[in-house]
Amino acid sequence: MKPGTVIHRRFAVNNTSAKPQTLWLYAAGAEIKKRKFDFLPEQTANELSSWIAFDRPAVTLPPGGERLLKATIRVPQTAWKGERYAVMWAEARAPATKERNVQIHNRVGIRVYLDVGSGGEPPTDFRVDKIWAGRDQAGKPRLEAQVSNIGMRAVDMTGELRLSEGPGGTSAGPFEVTTGVTMAPKDVGQVEVLLDPSLPAGPWKADLELTSGRTTRTASGTVTFPAAVNTTAAVKLSSTAFPSLTALLTTAGALAVAGGGYLIWRRARRTP
C-alpha cells in the first residue's frame, strides 16, 4: 500500500459455544521473532495496529451466531516504507467471580502483513537450500529442509512431502509439513516432516513442495532414512523447481544488456 491509502476488509466472527458470547474487537501488534510470527502481549500496540479500526468495538452473538464486520486500515501520508505486522483480535472475556478470582480471556485473530511502499507489491520468494533425512528419538523417520527467504516479504511455510519409487515400486504420501516457520526477508529457517515409524527406510524419491501464499517451490532428491535414532544424513538434491527471483532478474538484466549491445553494433555498421 502507498502512504495515504485506505482499504476496507470484511470478516466474519462466529460463536461456536452453546451460550451467548460478547466478543470484543481490537488490533494489537505483532513481530517476527526467532522465525515465528509472535503476538505482542495482551493489547500491546505497534505502528500498524494503530492504523486499524473496526466498525464497532464489540458484538454479542447468540449460540451458533455469526456476524459480518468491517476493518479499516488507514496508512498515514507520513508512513515510511517497509513491512509491518499486527493481529485483528476477537476476544471473549469471562469475568472473575467469588468462586473464581481469575479472569479468563479467550481470543482468535487474523494476521495482518502490510507493506508500505510504491511501485507495486514487493516480491515473495524463497528457496530450499538443503534437505536431511533422519530419525528422531522415538524412531520416527523425518525429513528436514533448510529454507532461505530471498524475497522482500515475510513468508509462512506450509507444504507436503511425496515419496515414490520406493522398495518394490511403492509410493507414500502426501505428508504435511508438521513444523513450519515464519521468516522475515533474508532470514533462514527449517521445516520438518514427521513420518510413520513403519515406513521402510528406502531408498525413496522424495519430492518436497513448500508454499507461502501463492508462491510455491519444490525440491527433489533420493532419500534413505538412517536406522539409528537421533541421526541425520544429507540428501543430494536432484532438482529445485522454479528459479529464484534474483536469478530471473539477473538473467533478464543480462539479456537486456546483450540486446542493447547488439542494437548498438547494428547501428554502428549502418553509420558511415
In the chain, what are the domain boundaries? 6-116, 126-244
Digits of tens for pLDDT over the chain (272 positions)? Answer: 999 999 999 999 999 999 999 999 999 999 998 889 999 999 999 999 999 999 999 999 999 999 999 999 999 998 888 899 999 999 998 777 777 777 778 999 999 999 998 877 788 999 999 999 999 888 899 999 999 999 989 999 999 999 999 998 999 989 999 887 899 999 999 999 999 888 999 899 999 999 998 899 999 999 999 988 888 889 988 866 544 444 444 444 444 444 444 444 455 455 44
**Cell output for 36:** 515465528
β partners of residue 109: 89
pTM over the 0.75 mark:
no
Measured between alpha carbons, how far is 126 from 8 in angstroms, rounded to an integer? 29
Output Rg (C-alpha) for the chain, integer angstroms. Answer: 25
Q: Can you identify the CATH homologous superfamily of domain 6-116?
A: Immunoglobulins (2.60.40.10)
Query: Which amino acid is it at 251?
Result: T
Instruction: Judge contact between 139 and 197, C-beta under 8 A.
Output: yes
126-244 has which fold? Immunoglobulin-like (2.60.40)
The CA-based dihedral angle spanning residues 224, 227, 232, 235, taken in that order and rounded to the nearest 10 degrees? -10
Give yes or no for a cis peptide into 57 (omega within 30° of 0).
no
State residue 207 phi and psi, 5-degree precision.
-120, 110
Cβ partners under 8 Å of residue 219, min gap 6: 128, 131, 145, 207, 208, 237, 239, 240, 241
Measured between alpha carbons, how far is 178 from 191 in angstroms, rounded to an integer? 8
Measured between alpha carbons, how far is 108 from 60 in angstroms, rounded to an integer? 16
Instruction: Judge contact between 132 and 232, C-beta under 8 A.
Output: yes
Collapsed DSSP state (helix, strand, coil) of residue 253: helix
